[in-house]
Amino acid sequence: LLIMGPPGAGKGTQAKILAEKYNLIHLSTGDILRREIKKKTAIGLEAQSYMNRGNLVPDNVLLSIMDSTLISLKDSGIILDGFPRTIIQAEKLSETLNEMSLVIDTVVDLVVDADEVINRLAGRSTCQDCGGMFHVQSCPPKVEGVCDNCGGNLAQRQDDNSETILKRLDVYQESTAPLKQFYKGQGNLKTVTARGSVEEIFSRVLEMVK
């Protein structure tokens, strides 16, 4: 499965629920890159310079990570979250999967308007240790600044400030939105309105992947 949509659409949240329900491996490129950043690897530091400005990480950086990761997980069910993000990445992903005799069964496209995205991301905080996400309105932590899951520190991601959010939305429309036509042409694109509660959105997603 592949889940796509603009920043703040809820890709990570929905992907985690799907992964649990269907015993899939949730493969989030954002999480992978943030782990590399935390470890201060060469790839992580290069990726961070792009992410902090709201730009996409270059194709060659992501592809080098994802190819080896996918090959190592050949016999597992996978839900891709945040990859591919460009046509070049999508074409390369198709080549890699073909070599592995695999295909993407369903692409779930979460659709949400820009105002909703800004509201979600500007109020979002992320655990520095486990990656858990909270929101000041819809999902506040029990103790301000402390993760409910592991007790780690919560902080706003550098790419979740208002100026960078707008830049990320522009980049999404320019580079990632064209993937809708790419997968529509393959006949596996399913569109889901990503407004409402997490549970309401998941019920719509579930109808598309059953």
Is 35 catalytic? The answer is no
34 as an active site residue: the answer is no
- From the candidates 34, 92, 124, 204, which is the catalytic residue? 124
pLDDT attached to residue 53: 79
| Catalytic pick among 34, 92, 168, 204 | 168
Which pTM value belongs to this model?
Answer: 0.76
- The 10s digit of each residue's pLDDT in 65-105 is 788 788 888 888 999 998 898 899 999 999 989 988 988 99
Instruction: Convert the pLDDT of each residue in 125-159 to its tens digit.
Output: 888 888 788 888 778 999 999 999 999 999 887 76
Cβ atoms 24, 16 nearer than 8 A:
no
- Alpha helix ranges (H) inside the chain: 11-22, 29-38, 42-51, 59-72, 87-99, 114-122, 162-171, 179-186, 198-209
Q: Is 40 a catalytic residue?
A: no
Query: pLDDT at position 147, please?
Result: 94
For tokens 């309401």, name the residue: 200
Q: Is 11 among the catalytic positions? A: yes
Q: Provide the b/e sequence for 96-109 (b: ≥16 CB within 10 Å).
A: eeeeeeeebebbbb
* Among 16, 157, 167, 195, the one annotated catalytic: 157
